[in-house]
Amino acid sequence: MTIKQISVFLENKSGRINDVTKALAKAGINMHAFSMAETTDFGILRLIVSDVERAIVVLREANFSVVQTDVICISCPNVAGSLSVILEHLADKNIFIEYMYAFAQGDQANVVIRPTDLQRCLEVLQENKCNVLTNRTL
Task: By CB under 8 A, name the binding residues for other proteins.
Answer: 5, 7-11, 16, 37, 39, 41-42, 44, 46, 60, 63-67, 69, 98-99
User: What DSSP string runs through 44-78?
Assistant: EEEEEES-HHHHHHHHHHTT-EEEEEEEEEEEEES
Shortest Å, Cβ 48 to other proteins? 13
Give the residue with the Cβ less far from other proteins, 11 or 107: 11
52 neighbors 86 (Cβ within 8 angstroms): no
Give the residue with the Cβ less far from other proteins, 8 or 132: 8
Q: State the Cα angle at 95 between 105 and 66, rounded to 5°.
A: 60
Shortest Å, Cβ 61 to other proteins? 9
